[in-house]
Amino acid sequence: MTSLLRKPLLGCIADDFTGATDLANNLVRGGMSTVQTIGIPRDSKVLLDADAIVVALKSRTISKDDAITQSLEVLSWLQSQGVQQIYFKYCSTFDSTKEGNIGPVIDALLTALNSKFTIACPAFPEAARTIYRGHLFVGNELLSDSGMKNHPLTPMTDSNLVRVLQSQTNRKVGLVDYETISKGAEAISSKFSSLQSEGVEIAVLDVLSNQDLHFIGSAIANMPLITAGSGVAIGLPRNWGLGQSNEASSDGFLKQAKGYQAILAGSCSLATNSQVDHFRKAGNPCFCIDPFALDTGEDVVRQAITWAQSFIGQRPLLFYATAQPEEVAQVQTKIGIDRAGLLVEMTLAQIAVQLVEIGIRQLVIAGGETSGAVIKALKIDQMNIGPQIAPGVPWTSAVVNGEQIHIALKSGNFGGADFFENAFRRLND
Ligand SMILES: Nc1ncnc2c1ncn2[C@@H]1O[C@H](COP(=O)(O)OP(=O)(O)OP(=O)(O)O)[C@@H](O)[C@H]1O
Ligand SMILES: O=C(O)[C@@H](O)C(=O)CO
C-alpha cells in the first residue's frame, strides 16, 4: 500500500519561538502548509504531513555548545522526516552574542550536511530590515544606531554583517552586493561560484525588496542549507511550484477564539516599549513586574493573579516587565544580566500558567526569550498558524491541558504602537 503522506520539502530550525512563528507565517502565506513544533516532538517517529516543518528552539542566547548540540539533534530529526532542504532561522536584527550563536551553528550545520557553501541573510523588507553593502538597516537607521544597541541580552553595536559573522566563524565570509542581486538569479548564482573559488563559504546578501528575495529564492533552490531571517522564505515556495500570486490572501485559518484575553510583555525593545505605553495610556488594566521585587523573593506571581481576578473579563489584561534602557541597565547592574532575565522570564511563565487556569484563552506574548519561557511552561508542543496581525506576527492556536488557546508570539521590535489592541481585533472581528 502506498503512503498518502507527502514528504516535507523544507525543514527549519529556528533559534527562538517568536522567530519560528514569524518564519512559519511567511511560509503559510507563500502557500506552503506548515507545522510548527516546539523542539523535537515527543513521538519523534511519527511522520508529519506538511510542506514545511519549523522546529522552535530557545538557542539564541544559551551556550554555543548547547546551541550546536540542539541544532544538530533537530537536523537529524528533520532528515528522518525526509526534508529536501534545511533552513536555519535567526533574527532579522542578527541578534547574537560575542560567541555566536549564529556563526557556530552555521559551521556545525554545514559540516553535518557535508556542504561547503551557504548564505547569511537576515533581511525582511516588509518589517523594514534591509541590507546594503553588507550593512543591516532597521527602518532608516543602521542596526548599530537602532534600539538594538541597548538590547538586554544581545546588544548589536556593529551593522557590518560580514564583520559580525566573520568574528563568529573560521570559515571565510563574503558579500553578494546589490548590483549583483538586482540582476537576478543567474547573476547571483554565478557570484556564488566566484566567491567559492575565492574560498568564501558563507555569503551575506544585500536585499532591499521582496523582488530581491524572489531572485535569491531561485538562486538557492538547490542549496542544502539556507541561513536567514524569515524574509528569505518568501522566495522559496515557488521552487516547489507552490507560490501564491497574492500572498496576503493565503493567511492561515484557525477555529473561532473564545475566553478571556491577556498580554505578557517581557521584551524591552523599542517597539514593545511604545506598545506598552500606548496600551497603558488608553486606560487598560496593567500590572507592572518589578525585577527588584523578584530578586528579594516577593511572591509577585500570587500578587499578579490576585490582581487579575479582580479585572478578568473586562478588557485585555497586560502584565509587563518592559522598561526603558536606563531602568534595564540599573536592574542588570544590581541583579546581573542573566539572573534578571531569568527571574522575569520565570515569573511571566508562571503567571501564564495560572492565567490559563482562570480562563484566559487568548494570549499575546511579547519577546522571543519571554515567549520561549511561556510556551515551555504551558507545555505546548505544536502550534497551528493563523491570520497575520502584522508582518512577522501571526495568531496561532495550540492545546493546553486539553483546551484550545489562541496565542500570538510577537518579536520585540515588530508591530506598530497599537499592536495589542489590533491583535485582539484581528482575532475576534
Ligand atoms: N525590567 C527588566 N530588567 C531586566 N531585564 C528584563 C526586564 N524586563 C525583561 N527583561 C529580560 O529581557 C529579556 C528580553 O528578551 P526577549 O527576547 O523576551 O525580548 P526581545 O529581545 O525584545 O524580543 P525578540 O527576541 O523577539 O526581539 C528577557 O530575558 C527578559 O526576561
Ligand atoms: O526575525 C525576527 O526579527 C524575529 O522573527 C525574531 O527572531 C525576533 O526574536
Q: Which of 370, 374, 410 to mutate to test the pocket of ligand 1 (most atoms within 8 A of CB)?
A: 370
Give the model's pLDDT for residue 245: 42
Give the model's pLDDT for residue 247: 45
Query: Burial of 1 by CB count in 10 Å (0-12 exposed, 13-18 middle, 19+ buried)?
Result: exposed
When mean pLDDT is compared across 243-247, 263-267, 349-353, 396-400, the lowest value belongs to: 243-247
- pLDDT-based confidence at 251, cuts 50/70/90? low
Q: Which of 314, 322, 263 shows the shortest CA–CA distance to 289?
A: 322
Query: Cα separation of 218 and 241, whole Å?
Result: 11
Answer yes or no: is 61 within a domain.
yes
Query: What average pLDDT does range 117-133 have in this prediction?
Result: 98
Cα-based angle 374, 59, 319 (whole degrees, multiple of 5): 25
The pTM (predicted TM-score) of the whole model is: 0.92
| Residue 42 alpha carbon to ligand 1 centre in Å | 28
Residues 78 and 162 occupy one common structural domain: yes
pLDDT over 60 (residue 248): no
pLDDT digits (tens, 9 = 90+) for 367-414: 999 999 999 999 999 999 999 999 999 999 999 999 999 999 999 999
Residues 265 and 382 occupy one common structural domain: yes
Residues 188 and 278 occupy one common structural domain: no
* Sheet (strand 141-142) strand order: 129-132, 135-138, 141-142
Answer yes or no: is 47 within a domain.
yes
Answer yes or no: are the C-beta atoms of 229 and 121 closer than 8 Å: yes
- State which ligand 1 atom lies nearest to the alpha carbon of 413: 27
Answer yes or no: is 51 within a domain.
yes
The CATH code of the domain that includes 34 is 3.40.50.10840
Query: Cα separation of 125 and 235, whole Å?
Result: 12
Answer yes or no: is 5 within a domain.
no
Domain interval for residue 424: 260-428
- State which ligand 2 atom lies nearest to the alpha carbon of 20: 5
Query: What average pLDDT does range 318-338 have in this prediction?
Result: 96
pLDDT over 70 (residue 158): yes
Residues 240 and 265 occupy one common structural domain: no
Query: What average pLDDT does range 336-362 have in this prediction?
Result: 97
pLDDT over 70 (residue 60): yes
Residues 236 and 341 occupy one common structural domain: no
Answer yes or no: is 250 within a domain.
no
Answer yes or no: is 255 within a domain.
no
Per the structure, how many domains does the chain have? 2
ipTM higher than threshold 0.90 = yes
The CATH code of the domain that includes 306 is 3.40.980.20
- Cβ(372) – ligand 2 distance below 6 Å: no
DSSP letter for each residue of 325-378: HHHHHHHHHHH-HHHHHHHHHHHHHHHHHHHHHTTEEEEEEESHHHHHHHHHHT
Q: Residue 4 is placed in which grid cell?
A: 498518502
Give the model's pLDDT for residue 151: 86
